[in-house]
Amino acid sequence: MKLRHNARARDWFPAAPAFFPALRAVLRRRLLTTLLPAMLTGMLVAMLTGMLHPADALAAKAKGSAKKPQGVQQSASAQSASSAASRKQIPQAAELLDPSTEDLPGIRQRGQLRILVALNRTNFTMAPDGSFKGLEHDLALILERSLNTGLKKGAQKVRVVFVPVLRDDLLPALLDGRGDVAAAGLTITPERETHVAFTRPYFEDVREVLVTRSGAKPIRSLDDLAGRSVHVVASGSYAEHLEPVRQDLARRGLPPLEIVQADHVLETENLLEMLAADMVDCVAADEHIARLWLQVLPGLVIQPQAIAQGGRIAWAVRKNNPQLLDAANKALKDSARQQAMLFHKNFPSTQEDAKRLANPFLAPKTARLVPDFQKRSEEYGFDWLHMMAQGFQESGLDNSARSRTGAVGVMQVLPSTGASLGFRDIRPASENIHAGVRYMGKMRDEETPGDRLDPEQRFYFALAAYNAGPARIRKLREQARAEGLDPDVWFGNVERAAMRHGCQGAVIYVRNIRAYYIAYSLGWDIHARRVKAAKPKQIAPELLQGVDTAPASAAP
């Protein structure tokens, strides 16, 4: 891969042997259950309630709660002081979600350029000091400065605002007018070019590569993909480039290639984490992304055979916005020599934000929890892997975890909540899991009655209620209905109302648990198959927890 000024990927990753032992120590910290969730929640609060511009976010942080979003609990004095600001922000946040397909003149009149981004830790994230990070963020600010250069005194300036969406919604949101520019590392493909216009590329010569764990059978030619499974992000270019390979192998009678498109909540970095945790066997990735994450995920290798070469990565705009396209091209051209520096500048923060997803069924400490999750989930009618994923979100499956508010254990249950549910002591892991699952059952059965809800939706609403409180979620459903959204569907509907009305913590909570559930489902399947294939004495007893090791019954 190279940038416009021909800097190649190998120049971006200088060797730094002394750095990585320290990095590994950083990665051992419990970012998942402390800093990282707070960072992600803070980013969505800033981005989706009227504080989307980075300068505003930092100013608001410095000034305290003068711009606290509506719906966040405040003292009486704070509510009085900030009521005017709240009334002003919510229409602004709502305005961001209202469709508009106007070209640059309309954008200038509106004063906002909406940048559609996919939240991840590679291209667009947030640093501990509250500032935004990532190449897409920095390039968007360069575009903002370019648009405001040479304006007459008193002319309205254009401000960049960031609108996060799921990756598979980037282009639909752009075409629907929910954003003006899609900036998320999009590869230019013939199929995409039939729908949108692309700017000049800011990455060129991009190789799409295959990543495996070290020791895996090498992939030196496309024929080596016969009989293998490759995981790819949804709505990416990887599946498009692998499909001809799959068809060619089938035509020649070779073992089939399985292309597995991941759930739409997962990014390439999530798949690479799952690969490092031995949950999947092979992942397709852009080489520059793979090289970035190989420095923080040990035991992964890039295979010699690429699935595509010469790729170009650019922003996308609507085809009927030629003036915006010209302005974006000018900004990208003028910043060409800065782009390598911008990518490299953001690299350290990405490393610090990396978290380690592990297969809990391979570690004795967490494998011992499996029977309790299975027993209580069956008792209350839940998928036990869902409950275990929730436990990971709550505490990292660490029963010694204790929050600042006094919540304890794997499921982070308050002692008062445990007492109200009939538990005398929720400190033992088995009792803590029981209390957490029982409380989830209460949220589902009493607070989200299922007379008209799909069972899957009831579960998502129960998760949101577990995190934000049932009264808050009931109000959000009412607000979703008033805004023309479906009050009975969480993702893309009540979730949007939650983002608009200051309940971003629940949005992150539900999305994370869904992602962990997918990873745990894969991890459990792999673990169970390996246990059944091995002799019982070859597996440590604690790793047999919850696995049905009995031989299949003979057919009658």
Active-site positions read: 394
CB neighbour list of residue 283: distance below 8 Å, 6 or more residues apart: 210, 211, 212, 230, 231, 232, 268, 271, 272, 274, 275
Q: Which position has the token pair 């009149």? A: 109
| DSSP secondary structure code for residue 543 in this structure | G
Consecutive H or E run containing 373: helix 370-380
Is residue 199 within 8 A of residue 315, CB to CB? The reply is yes
Q: Reduced to 3 states, what is the DSSP secondary structure of residue 241?
A: helix
Kindly report the number of other CB atoms within 10 A of residue 358's CB atom: 19
CB-CB contact of 544 with 531 (8 Å):
yes
The dihedral of CA 347, 352, 354, 356: what is its sign?
A: positive
Q: How far apart are CA 228 and CA 514, in angstroms?
A: 26
- Contact present, 123 and 135 (Cβ < 8 Å): yes
Q: How many residues does the chain have?
A: 556
Distance in angstroms (rounded) separating the CA atoms of residues 306 and 181:
29
Report the 10 Å Cβ neighbour count for 193. Answer: 12
Phi then psi dihedrals of residue 405, to 5 deg: -90, 0
Say which amino acid occupies 151: L
- The full 3-state SS of 297-323, as one line of letters, equals CCCEEECCCCCEEEEEEEEEECCCCHH
Round to whole Å and give the CA distance between 84 and 56: 17
3-state secondary structure string across 324-351: HHHHHHHHHHHCHHHHHHHHHHHHHHHH
Which parts of 127-224 are beta strand (E)? 132-133, 159-164, 181-187, 197-198, 203-213
> Of 416, 409, 418, 455, which is closest to residue 438 (Cα–Cα)?
418
Nearest to 174 by CA among 25, 374, 345, 315: 315
Q: Residue 527 and residue 535: Cα distance in Å, rounded?
A: 14
